[in-house]
């Protein structure tokens, strides 16, 4: 076969192969097969030098034509395949902006914190400020300055968590540390009166700790809100009116308040406060244990001995204090019979609020 026929045959073979290529990889294989270093067209072009002088010009012209035609077919096909590859990539990556977004479950404030906030709000409305005190407290603030005698049972190891002082810097009384986890928010009263002069109107919310085993009505860690008022001419009537206002705001306008005489070392006189049962209205039912009343807090007039510890003149000022358990208030407000629900973190319970 004449060399130009050979070239033409190779050309149609190459053009057919280019036409059949389905991917850029196929096409590259075709290019290498014909035009690569060891390609069949390259081999013929290399052999041109060995041709006779008559054959050479014609063979050179044809081979140039064939090379150009194969190259331009390769270029055109490459462009076509690249365009198709781009189009299919875009089709695959397309984002359907009309699809609904993924719903993320929203968290919300724990019911106990909602209730603490609500208590604080009610007293803020009466002009009270919020104060805080440490949870790790000195015996002095938790007991001594609150007029507890040295042998008061609350000071005993079985009621109070004592913190061991490893530094050994502090005097340790009778084998016990004088550092403890506060058993109530009342030490907050002492801190406030040490640093502020009357008139004082504060609430002190916070965690407190007692050596109790968790059961439906006890938790070893729970939450209290303390209240303290010190001003000229404060009476027990002011205390009662304040608590009545609080109870109606918290539980509703129909609820009544009852004060029972009680004892606390740091208030005199002292009382425990009951709210009328929301189910039976006071006549007695199963939910209030037949009593008609539910205990919600302790309170009283600040004992002059406490004023003595903090340097407030008991001749000039009087005051009242109260302390309530937030879990208890929340339990009554929402009818939760077991306080342990508030600390267990079960979302089936928590999502109800
Ligand atoms: N601290 C008392 C308790 O935890 C409650 C209380 C506070 C009583 C303020 C009187 C005055 O039981």
Q: Which ligand 1 atom sits closest to the C-alpha of 322? A: 9
Lowest pLDDT segment from 87-96, 145-154, 160-169, 235-244: 160-169
| Residue-averaged pLDDT of the chain | 91
pLDDT in tens, 191-231: 999 999 999 999 999 999 999 999 998 999 999 999 999 99
Q: Using alpha carbons, list the distances in angstroms from residue 1 to 27, 69, 284.
A: 28, 21, 120
267 lines ligand 1 (CB under 6 A): yes
The CB density around residue 226, as the number of other CB atoms within 10 Å, is 24
182 lines ligand 1 (CB under 6 A): no
pLDDT in tens, 250-294: 999 999 999 999 999 999 999 999 999 888 888 888 878 899 999
CATH level 2 (architecture), domain 111-350:
2-Layer Sandwich (3.30)
**Cα(253)–Cα(203) distance, rounded to whole angstroms?**
23
Which residue's CA is minimally distant from atom 5 of ligand 1? 323
Pocket residue to mutate for ligand 1, from 184, 268, 325, most atoms within 8 A of Cβ = 184
Q: Taking residues 332-338, what's their average pLDDT?
A: 91
| pLDDT of 170 above 70 | no
In the chain, pLDDT over 70 holds for what percent of residues? 96
Peptide bond into 132 cis (omega under 30): no
For residues 84-109, b (16+ Cβ closer than 10 Å) or e, as one string?
A: eeeeeeeeeeeeeeeeeeeeeeeeee
Q: Is the C-alpha dihedral spanning 72, 77, 80, 85 positive or negative?
A: negative
328 lines ligand 1 (CB under 6 A): no
Q: Domain spans of the chain?
A: 3-93, 111-350
pLDDT on residue 169: 60
321 lines ligand 1 (CB under 6 A): yes
């Amino acid at each position: 076969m004449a060399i130009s026929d050979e070239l033409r045959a190779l050309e149609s073979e190459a053009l057919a192969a280019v036409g059949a290529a389905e991917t850029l990889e196929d096409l590259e294989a075709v290019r290498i097969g014909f035009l690569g270093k060891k390609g069949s067209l390259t081999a013929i072009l290399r052999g041109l030098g060995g041709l006779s002088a008559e054959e050479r010009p014609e063979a050179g012209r044809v081979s140039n034509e064939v090379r150009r035609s194969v190259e331009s077919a390769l270029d055109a096909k490459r462009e076509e395949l690249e365009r198709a590859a781009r189009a299919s990539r875009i089709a695959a990556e397309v984002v359907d902006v009309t699809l609904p977004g993924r719903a993320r479950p929203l968290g919300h404030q724990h019911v106990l914190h909602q209730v603490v906030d609500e208590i604080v709000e009610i007293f803020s409305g009466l002009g009270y400020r919020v104060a805080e005190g440490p949870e790790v407290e000195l015996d002095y603030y938790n007991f001594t300055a609150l007029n507890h005698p040295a042998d008061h049972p609350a000071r005993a190891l079985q009621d109070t968590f004592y913190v061991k002082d490893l530094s050994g810097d502090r005097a340790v009384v009778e084998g016990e540390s004088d550092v403890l986890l506060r058993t109530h928010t009342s030490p907050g009263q002492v801190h406030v009166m040490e640093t502020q002069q009357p008139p004082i109107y504060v609430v002190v919310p916070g965690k407190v700790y007692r050596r109790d085993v968790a059961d439906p009505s006890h938790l070893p860690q729970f939450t209290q809100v303390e209240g303290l008022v010190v001003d000229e001419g404060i009476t027990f009537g002011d205390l009662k009116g304040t608590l009545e206002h609080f109870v109606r705001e918290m539980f509703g306008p129909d609820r009544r308040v009852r004060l029972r005489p009680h004892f606390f070392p740091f208030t005199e006189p002292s009382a425990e406060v009951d709210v009328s049962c929301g189910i039976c209205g006071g006549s007695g039912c199963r939910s209030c244990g037949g009593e008609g009343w539910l205990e919600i807090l302790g309170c009283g007039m600040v004992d002059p001995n406490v004023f003595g510890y903090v340097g407030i003149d008991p001749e000039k000022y009087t005051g009242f204090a109260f302390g309530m358990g937030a879990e208890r208030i929340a339990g009554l407000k929402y009818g939760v019979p077991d306080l342990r629900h508030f600390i267990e973190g079960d979302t089936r319970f928590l999502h109800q609020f």
